[in-house]
Amino acid sequence: MAVAIRLSALSKKFGRFSANRNISLLVEKGTIHALVGENGAGKSTLTKIIYGMHRPTSGEMFIDGKGVSFSSPREAIHSGIGMVHQHFMLIPELTVTENIILGNEHCGLFQRILLKKSKALILNDAEAYGLALDPDALVGSLSIGEQQRVEILKLLFRRAAIMIFDEPTAVLTPLETERFFATLRSLRDRGKTIILITHKLDEVLAVADMVSVMRRGEIVGTIPVALATKGELARMMVGRNLLMRVTNPPASPGETILSINRLGFRTKKGVERLHDLSLLIRAGEIYGIAGVEGNGQSELLQILWGLAPEGAIISGEALLKGSSLIGRSPAEIADMGVSHIPEDRLRHAVISNYTVSENLLFGRHRERFFHQGIGFNTHRLNRYAKEMIADYALSCSSPNRQSLRALSGGNQQKVVLARELSRPAVSLLLLAQPTRGVDIGAIETIHKKIIEARASGMAILLLSSELEEIIALSTRIGCLYKGSIRHEFSLEEVELKRDSGHEFQKEIGIHIT
């Protein structure tokens, strides 16, 4: 069979960060090729390279056997590549026809637009692929599913042979999804090549022919869908063989610190994100939450840190040593003895333009210990910064001058960890993705520190997309699926299965899909 796209040793770096590493991939003509992976695995970067929005740092790309190097989407479109973005690129005030021909009017700048001829072409395409639409309707008046059809017609109008869909079903209702899949199949049957980006494994199994799994910027496997199972795909997506394993001495948990009771979360629009979620965390234990992203992890953290979006409906209770966390502000929650290391630390946990010292203080700047007059006690601050740098093996020579953005990902995370773990009188740590984007060297230090914190009696709620990390660190494991804990592994089970690696991962895999 003919090859539509061939990528060979493609890499993309943003500064020091490798978004795509050594990617080689074959996509056959006339197939639906799914690309799956967690957020941040590099799917978007890869498709942006194919669509000409990013230039690869190294490597080669071939379309229909010809070597190409796009410097803009315009060139990619010219080579027959089309993309439907997650957020549609449509102008609501224009009609369907006007939107479709936009940028491709087939006439001079000051000539009359051939609306009638275009309309006929569009209707022709619509009929051929079963995409019923009124070409004169205003796009703003269409449903989301219909708008998606406009996007597809746009690609057909441009005679795109390769179509990229970025999370196309994220906004569709189940019925619209069914219909969309039918369209995808008919596109494939007429020889179009389709790249489907998603993290919904059910959809991959339902519609794709081949599937590639991405993790940490690399493709970890490409298999025919006929041979794939959901559990196996999930394990490939979230599992990872850590190079080193931290020693995790047996835990002896104490009193209950956090008790969550039948917690529910409904968005403003009424979508249920958490449903009857219950769990207990005791002092001196790490409660790991395993689950595929998007099953309620973010919402759980938002509630516990007092940042649930306005209009969200929260039910149930979340008690820290008996007093409720719901309805309090982040500052109040921190005062109650809670530390939080958010998943997106560059956006939420640090001020990248501030110096390392200032960042070691961030969020703790209300502590009296650091105060002097209207400002800060520089002497105490320097001593504290020095201690943290030594204690966490931070590579940073002048914390008062170096800005945080100059540090590597691992060192940035160490700054956050140092700050949050050394908060006085912390009883609960909310820890999300502790080693995301962190180099291997720093992972070991970070894992050691987490185990140390547990041993000193802290209760830790750990969320991670790395299954291996959850298994290595947790005392107990809860499997999160569609907003509730579907299965819980007890302390004894985790102890017993921790070293069986693969088998345990598979078992967890079953409970999170």
Partner 1 sequence: MNRKSTRLLIPLLSILSALVVSTLIIFMAGRDPLMIFLKMFHATFGSAYGSGQVLFRMTTLIFVALAVALPFQVRLFNIGAEGQLLLGAFAAAMTGAMLPAWLPSLASITLCIISAMAAGAGWALLAAVLKVRFGVNEVIGTIMLNFIAQGITGYFLTWHFAIPSTVHTAPITDAAVIPAFGTLTGWFANSPANLSTILAIGIALLFRMLIFSSRFGYEMRAVGLQPDAARYGGIKAGMHTLTAMGLGGAAAGLGAANIVLGYRHSFEAGMTGGVGFTGIAVALLAGAHPLWILLSALFFGVLEYGGLTVNAWIPKDIFMIIEALTILLVITFSALGRRLQQE
Q: Point out which residues bind partner 1 (CB under 8 A).
A: 305, 307, 329-332, 334, 340, 342, 347-354, 358, 361-363, 365-366, 371, 374-376
User: What is the number of alpha carbons within 13 Å of residue 320 lying toward its C-beta?
Assistant: 25
Q: How far is the CB of 20 from partner 1 (least distance, A)?
A: 22
CA distance 214 to 217: 6
Residue 274 identity = L
Residue closer to partner 1, measured from CB, 159 or 366 = 366
Between the alpha carbon of residue 370 and those of residues 141, 312, 360, the distances in Å are 57, 36, 11
Measured CA to CA, the distance from residue 309 to residue 298 in angstroms comes to 11
Distance of CA 304 to the CA centre of its chain: 20
To partner 1, the closest distance from the beta carbon of 347 in angstroms equals 5
Residue 403 DSSP label:
B
Per-residue tokens: 240:
């990872």
Please give the Cα distance from 123 to 128 (Å, whole number). 9
State phi, psi for 184 to the nearest 5 degrees. Answer: -55, -45
**Among 120, 119, 146, residue whose Cα is nearest residue 132:** 146
| Cβ-proximal residues to 315 (8 Å cutoff; 6+ apart), any chain | 262, 263, 264, 265, 266
What distance in Å separates the CA atoms of residue 10 and residue 274, rounded to the nearest whole number? 39
Q: Residue 285's closest CA among 496, 425, 473?
A: 473
Rounded CA gap, 123 and 138, in Å? Answer: 16
Query: Contact 459/285 with Cβ under 8 angstroms?
Result: yes
Q: Mind spelling out the 3-state secondary structure of 406-426?
A: HCCHHHHHHHHHHHHHCCCCC
Contact indicator for 220, 241 with CB cutoff of 8 Å: no
Instruction: Please tell me the distance from the alpha carbon of residue 351 to that of residue 403, in angstroms, as a whole number.
Output: 9
* 479 vs 116: CA distance, rounded Å: 56
- Cβ atoms of 467 and 437 within 8 Å: the answer is no
Q: Beta strands 484-489 and 66-68: pairing type?
A: unpaired
What span, in angstroms and rounded, lies between the C-alpha atoms of 45 and 12?
8
The length of the chain is: 513
Cβ 340 to partner 1 shortest distance, Å: 7
CB-side exposure of 9: number of CA atoms within 13 Å? 2
Question: What is the per-residue burial (b if ≥16 Cβ within 10 Å, else e) of 140-162?
Answer: eebeeebbbbbbbbbbbbbebbb
Identify the DSSP state of 190.
Answer: T
CB 158 within 8 A of CB 104: yes
Q: How far is the CB of 170 from partner 1 (least distance, A)?
A: 22
3-class DSSP state of 173: coil
